[in-house]
Structure 1
């Protein structure tokens, strides 16, 4: 289905769905340029087949399990539509980013679209930044060096000896400022949000986002940060509330892909890697709901040799012995049955960890379930469903896991 907004064509593509477009479908829309750009920059998110005999002279575009918006040209935006209810995406997101304990939204989320979800979360971040700015932004001492007419901090003796005639002294000192990384991450994230491609007349940038952005302008340097800059930061009683702010920032920065031109942030995409979100969600849900005799390790590295290593998605260990009990590998796919390569992969995990049970975890029920013993390793397929209430789905999953 196509939606027309201000002469912009928004093309909808549901997860794992394939759509076809004739070559030069619309002389007023440069479709060929759009699909070429999609192939060049977004091959990880979308599969593109060029017009050929194989495709009967048409473009074939298939979503690979990502959700969000990709601006291709000023006239064409690709909307990667989720199969999962947006309310469930929100709940998964809360668990995945360790935000469910903060109760960041009052009541249930009632938006039914990705842009509505994005807008509500952006509004939450902006309002909390505004509240913190009113209380006073977190400050820290940063080292500075300057030539002063008075002594401040420590005089650079070597410089004073070399230039005895200078009336200004080179001093090294610490200065308290709000222009620090903690606040710069907030400013950069707001900048990313404002320049996102999904905003339209129908869904405009929330006023709170612009208000928060203007509140930081002039106080904080706008500089680029990566999602990983939001993780593993040090907090104390003066900036403890920044932990939530940075968790929210991480979500927006992970969703902001590369712009089309270097330095141009006028058409930024917004993308959610549903496979990664599903993996994080299952891990965090299990952490909170495992029986007391088990503990979980996430993305545990297994080293085979100096050059060969891999990471297991989720490993469950017995607390009493610290021996691995289950290895779980999440597969955000909708196949009829487990793929042979996936089965071989989890068996390799099991052998490397000397674990006798491995489980392939899918978001929907498979037509052909797997429950076989290969050597001394039991291999199963189970479902942690995303199609209904997630808490009930998780309870069902645990019962089947321990059966």
Structure 2
């Protein structure tokens, strides 16, 4: 298992250094004995800052039966529910509120950490105190979140680190059971860890190799005619390093047991080679066209 301190440094790079160097004091103040305590500590620190600076707000769609018109009248539902008998109409309107999805994600993540047996009493007590500031914010089903659709701008960029932590906790550590209960893994799932590891390597090169162009581009299929069904698989390199006269393609692989013999089997090696025999000719043709 990766040491907790190393996970912290991976997060610094993977999340594009929004975990700043001065925050390394976290590692000096506390000896984190599991991944939950590391992420809880960062989450508490950032949510405390958020509360002090104020929650972001946005317009929320509301539907309500009202004695006066507000926004637009929902005529169909007004007639269907016989609201006119009660001298009311059902209206659709926008309300400027702090009950936006990002605040709801934060609240629900802290709520689920409250029942996590791997989080000690000190952190749970702090979460309870922080949740007092979320009384006007609703909880949300974290399984319904489309994380990639969360958009950041100048007004809500302070949420990026907090939402990254919430996403890692909910997609990498917590497993929802069929009966609605949650199972808490001892460490981050391999699939989530593999994505984190890939982003870490990519951004490490971006920040540390200033004279080298670092990217993770899509490779276009070099076909005379594009199929109508558009079912071709996406070809995308993990990492490309491009210098003056050389280009290096890196394929990242994360294994929970890195030195296991099964990771270096003949079948896996052949699969990797087969992938590159598809990528390289396409990439060469694409580069020639760009020139």
TM-score of Structure 1 vs Structure 2, range by shorter chain: 0.7 to 0.9
Correspondent of 1:288 among 188, 201, 207: 207
* TM-score (normalised: structure 1): 0.55
The separation in 2 between residues aligned to 1:180 and 1:104, in whole angstroms, is 30
Q: CA deviation at 1:297?
A: 0.5
Describe the SS at the equivalent of 2:276: helix
- The structure-2 alpha-carbon separation of the partners of 1:156 and 1:308, relative to structure 1 and needing over 3 Å to count, comes to closer
Describe the SS at the equivalent of 1:271: coil
The separation in 1 between residues aligned to 2:158 and 2:251, in whole angstroms, is 34
Task: Map 1:321-332 to 2 at 5 A.
Answer: 325-332=248-255
- The structure-2 alpha-carbon separation of the partners of 1:108 and 1:209, relative to structure 1 and needing over 3 Å to count, comes to closer
Q: Which has the higher contact order (CA 8 A, sep 6+)?
A: 2
Correspondent of 1:340 among 248, 266, 273: 266
Matched, 1:237 2:154: yes
Correspondent of 1:271 among 176, 187, 201: 187
Matched, 1:95 2:18: no
* Stretches of structure 2 lacking an aligned partner (at least 5 in a row): 283-291
- The structure-2 alpha-carbon separation of the partners of 1:135 and 1:86, relative to structure 1 and needing over 3 Å to count, comes to closer
The separation in 1 between residues aligned to 2:270 and 2:91, in whole angstroms, is 64
- The structure-2 alpha-carbon separation of the partners of 1:258 and 1:179, relative to structure 1 and needing over 3 Å to count, comes to same
Q: CA deviation at 1:255?
A: 2.9
Matched, 1:220 2:137: yes
CA-to-aligned-CA distance 1:276-322 (integer Å, 9 cap, x gap): 44333222212223353433207x5787997674765623154789x
The separation in 2 between residues aligned to 1:329 and 1:312, in whole angstroms, is 12
Matched, 1:170 2:93: no
Correspondent of 2:107 among 187, 196, 219: 187
CA RMSD, Structure 1 to Structure 2 (Å): 3.8
* Stretches of structure 1 lacking an aligned partner (at least 5 in a row): 1-81, 357-403
The separation in 2 between residues aligned to 1:288 and 1:351, in whole angstroms, is 30
Contact in 1 for aligned 2:78/2:90 (Cα 8 Å):
yes
